[in-house]
Homo-oligomer: A and B are copies of this chain.
Amino acid sequence: MSLFQLEHASCERDAELLFRAVDIDLGEGEWLLLEGANGIGKSTLLRALVGLYPLNARSMNFAGVDVLGDRGPLLAHTRWLGHALAIKRELSVIENLRYALGIAGRVIESDPHALCALVGLTGYEDSPVRTLSAGQKKRVALLPLIASSAKLWLLDEPFANLDTRGITLVHRLLQTHLTRGGSAVIASHGDAQLAAPSHRLTLVSP
């Protein structure tokens, strides 16, 4: 069954079309690789999907419900990760995770240390994020994602700053997510060769 459907979507910046009308049809267990040159509008499209940017589209459905007008049903089951990592420098890794989930009205169900181990942050659980390296920070930003039960992941360059093991790791997390019936849209630049996407969408300027 199709989980997320988008028809004939486009975004404008300063009254100019960013990319040609795109269509997305994503089933459960499928993921889409979103490609395109720097500045083509990948980040903008992802932001538009979650309602942070105006989107023109013929239709947009999530689990059979129309979400073009009201994003509510989509947002309840979606997690988006943008270029800004939304983590607090002063808080420790686990505190960041706990509060990110808590503010979304949830608690950590699995063991936080196990989650940290999953993203390769063993030994840094209680370090303030400020003292982590660039790649380690990225891993912290991934934590709320895997601790949440979101059906749809929208990830903006999740591989940037990660080392090769980190990239493999994200692919493994993605596989787990997909086998549980989740879906994902991932914007990336060619680091995604490790696993074949179910769909590929290359944005081009109109």
What residues make up the interface of A, taking CB atoms closer than 8 Å to B? 36-39, 43, 83, 120, 124, 132-136, 138-139, 157, 160-167, 189-191
The 8 Å CB contact of A39, one of B43, B136, B157, B167, is B136
Whole-angstrom distance between the alpha carbons of A83 and B190 in the complex? 21
Contact residues of A: prevailing secondary structure = loop
Please state if A134 and B43 are interface contacts (CB–CB under 8 Å): yes
Task: Report B-chain residues with C-beta under 8 Å of the C-beta of A124.
Answer: 39
List the B residue with the shortest CB-CB distance to A135: B38
| A17 nearest CB across to chain B (Å) | 15
List the B residue with the shortest CB-CB distance to A138: B38
List the B residue with the shortest CB-CB distance to A164: B190
The 8 Å CB contact of A37, one of B39, B157, B163, B191, is B163
Task: Report B-chain residues with C-beta under 8 Å of the C-beta of A190.
Answer: 163-164
| A86 nearest CB across to chain B (Å) | 15
Whole-angstrom distance between the alpha carbons of A43 and B133 in the complex? 8
| A20 nearest CB across to chain B (Å) | 17
